[in-house]
Amino acid sequence: MRCMNALRTSLAAALVVGAWATVGLASGPASAATVDSAPATPRSTAGEAPASAGLLAAMRQDLGLTESQARTRLAAEKTATALQDKARRAAGSSYAGSWFDPAAGRLAVALTDGRRSAAVRALGASARLVRHSARQLDETKARIDGLAAPAGVSSWHVDPKANRVVIEVVASTAHDNDVRTFVERARRAGPVLVKQTPEGPRTFAAGTVGGDPYYTGNVRCSIGFSVHGGFVTAGHCGQTGAAVSGWDRSAIGNFQESSFPGDDYAWVSVGNGWWTVPVVLGWGTVSDQLVRGSAEAPIGASICRSGSTSHWHCGNVLATNETVNYSQGAVHQMTKTSVCAEPGDSGGSFISGDQAQGVTSGGWGNCTSGGETWHQPINEILNRYGLTLHTA
């Protein structure tokens, strides 16, 4: 078998994280009323934050936080993640979405019925009154999903803070007839907010470059997370049955299942002397991170990503259940982040604390000028293929 250093290099695309960056969420509608805006102390202590010394150092550098502030934020995000399902149940039919509020240090919950606010506050979350329920917004998005989107439409998602379905269009095409027609039809579907983005989405696969983690033919991508029997990655990196070789060009296995577009995920079998470990590599920038689960981080939480090209980078969760309109076709149920990525990073890991989040799909921009990146949530992949995440 290969030595551990070779294993660590080969897994650098599969077990990856990011450095941290702060990006604020868009403000909600002027009509939204704050029911409870008082700051809250996280229920978890700062010492419980799942972070290595290297990760805390990266947060100090990129976010301008002290070590104590970084630990406090991670602990607050962990608490918010655990509260999401409880808050949804407490809100009942008035639930209109939730997100992590970094300024308050806790989960914020949107409600259409103020009578539910006390139950939500009792959990340690804040409450905000809005007009449209999550069900209404999801139904609006589903109707928009049924429309044929032109290339100038980048993506659309439910934004609980704005209490609208946000449609992003490429700025240079905002006045094109086909884009304007799509937006007009979308407005008839329900409450919509249109924003502009500087670029359209693209996947982050790359041609062959020596010394990178894994290849399918002349395409280089990044391993996502270890599962029992293999690893998960992006579907656009290879079709079912395609052979996969590692950083040293030795055989790893084959794509067992792959889906793209519609979805963007796949899993690859591991054999031929290769094995899996529940680790996200730090690429020498931060300490390696153990993977302990896959609890989904809320909108607004910090999140990190790493891949075989750009290595460690971080940001915030901007949206969930977003439909992304690639040139190859739309991909559904994606999570959008403010993390940058570059060609070759496709398939790599998104992680929040010690919780696996998903595999890199695509985005716009780069890690010099900045940009946004989408990932396909890990739990959807595990459920689709009946896989078990390899955890510590």
Q: What is the CATH number of domain 134-201?
A: 3.30.300.50
- Name the least confident of 53-67, 73-87, 123-137, 313-327: 53-67
Of the residues 346, 349, 352, 361, only one is catalytic, namely 346
236 assigned to active site:
yes
Q: Which stretches within the chain are classed as H helix? A: 4-10, 53-63, 67-91, 117-122, 134-145, 177-189, 378-385
Q: Which is catalytic among the residues 132, 157, 236, 311?
A: 236
- Per-domain residue ranges for the chain? 4-19+203-385, 134-201
pLDDT bracket for residue 2 (50, 70, 90):
very low
Whole-angstrom CA distances from 359 to 3, 57, 368, 381 are 26, 24, 21, 9
pTM for this predicted structure: 0.78
Q: Please report the pLDDT score of residue 314 as a whole number.
A: 87
CA distance 354 to 92: 30
Please determine, for residue 327, whether its predicted confidence score (pLDDT) is greater than 50.
yes
Q: Can 346 be counted among the known catalytic residues?
A: yes
Instruction: Give me the catalytic one of 101, 212, 263, 264.
Output: 264
**What CATH number matches the domain at 4-19+203-385, 3.40.50.720, 3.40.50.2000, 2.40.10.10, 3.40.718.10?**
2.40.10.10
Convert the pLDDT of each residue in 197-222 to its tens digit: 999 998 876 543 343 689 998 899 99
Structure tokens at 256: 């067992």
